[in-house]
Structure 1
Amino acid sequence: GATEIVYGEEPGTYEREVSQTIKETYAFYNNNMNHERCHDGDENNPVKLVSKVGYTLYHPNDLPFDPNTWKQLAHPKNKHQKKKGTVQQKNVHMDDDSSSLGCRHFDLVDTSPDRFKGMCRIMGDFRNAVRGSTSVRTPLEAPKCLVKPQSCKGLDVGSIPSLEELMDPLLKAEIPILGMDQMTIENIVKSAIQERDKKKTNDLDDEECQYCGENAALKRLDYFIDQGYAAVANRSQADVSNNDSSRLSIHFSLGTLSPRTVYWKAHEAGEDCKWLKSHLEMRDFFLYTAFCAGKRLFRPQGLPLGKHPREVKWRNPSDDETYWRRWATGQTHLPLVDAAMKELMLTGYCSNRVRQNSTSVLTKDMQIDWRIGAEWFQFLLQDHCVGANYGNWLYFSGVGPDPKNRHFRTVSQSIRYDPKGSYVKKWLPALNEVPNMEAIFRPWDFHISGFESPIVDPKTQFTWQDLQRLEEKGKLIQEDEIQE
């Protein structure tokens, strides 16, 4: 019979409630009712409840345990004295919720907010602290075989619902989903099914196949690094060729690939993949921030730094749904933002950089509540993860732990990272027939149909250097400056 019941801990209000329900239900049956069901024929060997955290880069048990240690590791007085392994490690932690249940047959990883009290609030400090206290664990070896338990005989395991069945409630919803009209939702559902069908036809030998479990995940990882795409992807504006970003986040979300596997593969690849390891640490920062914040993660004021955070009066999207819908459906007339939202709606994915730019426009320029943007991404993303998605939205909306309070200038970003306009032309076909390269980046100045009136003042989308150049020379780019 079974010896362990295993489940995964995840950040997020709903996820934490599910976790607590599992523990309470287990304790109830173990302590009060049907005590014999929790035994394997021996009263001294009850079935144990075990929690795991396998989707982070650094394991929770390897992180510092008190505020002073976090602070010392983040800002060591003598950098040469900072050594790995200085923090005492523990293997098992009982969080407050589980210890109060009165059952001793737990083997749980503590991911409660109190566990991470004192965690570094700034990303750079977090990196210093974790690098100074521990190292990334090596992935476990794959099991040689999986044995089906005898107790599963005759058990009706049911069937996995089809995508059409999962999508059907969306088509029958009586209340508009996030203020969207029914045609928009129908088009999103249609695109999702088309994406599924397209992937179904992919041969597993196709190097661009993103799905089909762990085998495809490992194949994608090897291809992305070994073929040299990782060496140049960090400098790319967006994913034009499907190899300009790793797309491994989809596998992280589905649990078919461990970030620790990616880390050690990138480590072996050397300097060219250093950025990939850094991005994995950034993802961990957002995940552990979510664990630490608990329900506070979803406040309109966010998790700002300092005792006196700046006040932000968010616009309610329901006050002007047309304004909100233009951003959400890619009709802002800002090429980079519209391309990103079109890609997201059609494929369920867009690269990290264009997500940041789109976030900046909605919150910094349009002043719309960051939470509806995060929820729209949650609705659309194939790689959605509560901690990573909401953490990024907080950070780039100006209400998270970002000391720089970044404001992305989308036109200048396009010129810097995608000087040929390849990305926006891919998702906005109308820009393929423009008279010159300059019109790709500021089509409103060239009377391009569909881009006459940007949703915000276009001047806010340029750096002051680019604005000055435009005023002095009448153009932003020189044709001979575009690199092949």
Structure 2
Amino acid sequence: MSLHIYWFRNDLRLTDNPAFRSACDSSSSLLPVYVVSPGETAPTAWGFERWGPLRRRFRDQAVAGLKQALIDRGSDLVVIEGEPVQVLSGLAEALSADRVVCETIAAPEELAQVDALRALGISVEDHWQSGLVDLADLPFAIRDLPEVFTPFRRALEAAGFPSVRPLSPPHAAPPLPDPYLSAHRSAITQAPDPRSSFPFDTAAFDGAESAALRHVQSYFSGRLAQSYKATRNGLSGAAYSTKLSPWLATGALSARRAFASLRDHEARHGANEGTGWIGVELLWRDYFRLSSMKHGARLFRHQGLSRLPRPSHDPEQFARWSAGETGQPFVDAGMRELAATGYLSNRLRQVVASYLVHDLECDWRAGAAWFEAQLIDFDVCSNQGNWLYIAGRGADPRNGRRFDPEQQAGYYDPDGAYRRLWNAL
């Protein structure tokens, strides 16, 4: 009898989950596990919790949805609090498990966890499954990944990316080991502000996979994708962008499922600049993942991929920025929305990041850590890549990007409605 442990990480779904399907196919008994690390609430080097309550609340919705989906298939999800390597090694020993199966996450801490399990003699089968393109299908080796996005995109488009269709969910899961553990976690109580553009305390935006799939079906069945490029720089409301990123971040939705729905939409309604841009942004997500695999810990150091000196940092200015009290109305409105809802438009993310780095002359890593704590759609690879771009410490040849907040406000919030919404005017 083969007993496997399936370790859910940022893949909180059953649809298009090749790693989970492999675990189901290769084991006669399977224990699905999600580990809540105490590091989530540990203080960062910048003096605040690594995960804020809104991010934890949205993740907990995804975990609850996954648990119910597994119960519906004759299984369950064991949610355990503890350091992941200790928890999983303890379970493997207690159950005499043959293997731990999980997804691959191309970031230093997550890769180190898998290495630590293997160093303890535990067999770990990890799968690359978070992006659009399988590693084996890339037209180049990871070491030869282009340092600029456009050549990467052209190479993949020439290769016909991606050709793999998403997997359907399994109808049933292998039986649980007998006996198996059960656990209970108290709910996070802070709710998002009702002004949120992603109101995840409503059924339509719940963190569960079921809500993600309903949203994908709804978004691509209409015409919103056709005008995506024209509306994507909006600031408020549910319809100005795809709103896929929170579910992609937890893995309640796979990038391939989203891309397949996009292609189905184009087959029905035609492809245009709007639909094409959705594909480009999904491909940016892949690029940041592959860049993290190529460069590893360099992306987390102060110089990034550059040779620039250590950035300056002013804790008082950073505190005012994070509280939305800089005195710059457009920036303050964005930071207040982020703290109250766990969400922020892409346009505002660039503006507030630029202001911290270039106007307040603070360390970009503090801003990246604040986004990690606050954003319900935090994605480690995309977050590092975007902050390095703003700070001029990534691979982009423009050596940084400053956004003038007054100019941006005049263009994107000409009547001041967004700033008034967040009491910044």
> What is the TM-score when the length of structure 2 is the normalising length?
0.69
Within 5 A, what are the aligned runs for 1:128-139? 128-139=154-165
Residue identity opposite 1:221 in structure 2: V
2:283 aligned with 1:281: yes
Equivalent in the alignment of 1:7: 102
Code of the aligned partner of 2:128: V
Q: Distance in 2 between matches of 1:425 and 1:338?
A: 11
Residue 256 (structure 2) pairs with residue 260 (structure 1): yes
2:421 and 2:326 mapped to 1: Cα distance? 17
Where does residue 51 of structure 1 map in the other structure?
A: 126
Matched residues in 2 for 1:347 and 1:356: separation? 17
**Over residues 132-165 of structure 1, what are the superposed CA-to-partner deviations in whole Å (9 max), with x where a residue is unaligned?**
234214333323512341x52321132244225x
User: Is the counterpart of residue 126 in structure 1 residue 221 in structure 2?
Assistant: no
For the residue of structure 1 that corresponds to 2:419, the secondary structure is: helix
Amino acid at match of 1:334: Q
CA distance in 2, matches of 1:11, 1:347: 28
- Matches of 2:182 and 2:304 in 1, distance apart? 41
Partner of 1:152: 177
Which shows bigger deviation, 233-242 or 388-397?
A: 233-242
Q: Is the 8 A contact 1:316 1:369 kept in 2?
A: yes
Give the counterpart letter for 1:19 in structure 2.
V
Q: Does 1:228 align with 2:303?
A: no
Q: Compute the displacement of 1:240 (Å).
A: 0.9
Report the equivalent of 1:481: none
Aligned in 2, Cα 1:190/1:315: closer, same or farther, shift over 3 Å?
A: farther
| DSSP 3-state at the match of 1:50 | strand
Please tell me whether residue 24 in structure 1 is matched to residue 116 in structure 2. no
Aligned residue identity for 2:342: G
Contact 1:395 1:402 in 2 (8 A): yes
CA offsets 1:187-222 (integer angstroms, 9 cap, x no match) = xx5758999xx745x3x4xxxx21242221122123
Return the letter of the residue paired with 1:402. D
Aligned pair in 2 of structure 1 residues 340, 256: CA closer, same or farther (>3 Å)?
same
What residue number does 1:249 align with?
A: 245
Could you say if the C-alpha distance between residues 131 and 285 of structure 1 is closer, same or farther in structure 2, counting changes exceeding 3 Å? same
1:190–1:280: structure 2 CA closer, same or farther, 3 Å change rule?
Answer: closer
Matched, 1:356 2:381: no
Residues of 2 paired with 1:258 and 1:146: CA distance? Answer: 20
- The TM-score with structure 1 as length reference comes to 0.61
CA-to-partner distance for each residue in 1:93-113, whole Å, 9 max, x for gaps?
xxxxxxxxxxxxxxxxxxxxx
Shift, 1:285, TM fit: 1.3
Compared CA separation, residues 193 and 243, structure 1 to 2 (3 A) = closer
Secondary structure of 2:212's aligned partner: helix
> Which runs of 5 or more residues in structure 2 are unaligned?
4-25, 28-99
Which has more radius of gyration?
A: 1
Note if contact 1:8-1:53 (Cα within 8 Å) is conserved in structure 2: yes
Q: CA deviation at 1:302?
A: 1.0
Change in CA separation of 1:251 and 1:423 when aligned onto 2, cut-off 3 Å = same
Within 1, Cα distance between the matches of 2:410 and 2:340? 24
Deviation at 1:246, TM superposition (A): 1.8
1:235-264 Cα shifts (integer Å, max 9, x gaps): 343331122122211101111111112222
Which letter does structure 2 place at the counterpart of 1:14? Answer: E
The aligned counterpart of 2:380 is: 386
- Among residues 291, 312, 315, which one is paired with 2:312 in the alignment? 315
* Separation of aligned partners in 2, 1:331 and 1:29: 50
Secondary structure of the 1:64 match is coil
Q: Distance in 2 between matches of 1:261 and 1:337?
A: 34
1:69-123: CA deviation from partner (whole Å, max 9, x where unpaired) = xxxxxxxxxxxxxxxxxxxxxxxxxxxxxxxxxxxxxxxxxxxxxxx21210001
Q: Is the 8 A contact 2:209 2:252 kept in 1?
A: yes
Q: Write out aligned runs for 1:32-43 (5 A).
A: none
Distance 1:64 1:211, change over 3 A: same
Spell out, residue by residue over 1:153-193, the C-alpha distance to the aligned partner (whole angstroms, 9 max, x if none).
321132244225xxxxxxxxxxxxxxxxxxxxxxxx57589
In structure 1, what is the Cα distance between the partners aligned to 2:405 and 2:247? 29
Q: Secondary structure at the match of 1:234?
A: helix
Instruction: State the distance in 2 between where 1:394 and 1:415 align.
Output: 26
- Between 1 and 2, higher relative CO (CA 8 Å, sep ≥ 6) is seen in 2
Alpha-carbon distance between aligned partners in 1 of 2:219 and 2:420, rounded to the nearest angstrom:
24
Equivalent residue letter for 1:22: L
Residue-pair matches, total: 320
1:340/1:354 contact within 8 Å kept: yes
Per the alignment, residue 70 of structure 2 pairs with none
1:128 positional shift: 1.4
Give the counterpart of 1:412 among 399, 404, 407.
407
3-state SS of paired residue (1:332): coil
Q: Judge conservation of contact 2:228–2:278 (CA < 8 Å) in 1.
A: no
Aligned residue in 2 for 1:324: 318
Name the % identity: 28
CA contact (8 A) 1:240 1:426 kept: no
**Distance of aligned partners of 1:140 and 1:329 in 2 relative to their CA distance in 1, 3 Å threshold:** same
1:352-388 CA deviation, whole Å, 9 max, x = no partner?
1111111111112222111010001001111111101
Distance 1:417 1:53 in 2: 38
Structure 2 counterpart of 1:141, from 167, 177, 185? 167
